[in-house]
Amino acid sequence: MRLIGLALLALAVGFFAVFGGDPLGAVLFRLDPGLLNLVQAVVQRYLLPMIWDDLLLPVLEAPAWVVPAILGGAMTLFGWMRARG
């Protein structure tokens, strides 16, 4: 788990170096313009519309490096705590 966490932290550093403070939604739109529309349609139609509005939209508005940094930090911390026993 620590190895995956460190890989995610490295990804966050790479995102910061390449994209700076660009929002995650803008980065995903640059990579695949139709992806966000597809995900929005699936989430709002087959799940709850509140999930898109209250959970995913704030994540997409955050800088692109924040999401892998948070996940990587949490995984590294939990892996370290698990190893210590």
13-64 pLDDT, tens digit each: 999 999 999 999 999 999 999 999 999 999 999 999 999 999 999 999 999 9
Whether residue 85 has pLDDT greater than 70 = no
The mean pLDDT of 55-77, rounded to a whole number, is: 95
Reference 19, options 68, 56, 53, 80; nearest CA is 68
Q: What is the pLDDT, as a whole number, of residue 7?
A: 97
Beta bridge partners of 47: none
Q: What is the pLDDT, as a whole number, of residue 46?
A: 95
pTM here? Answer: 0.80
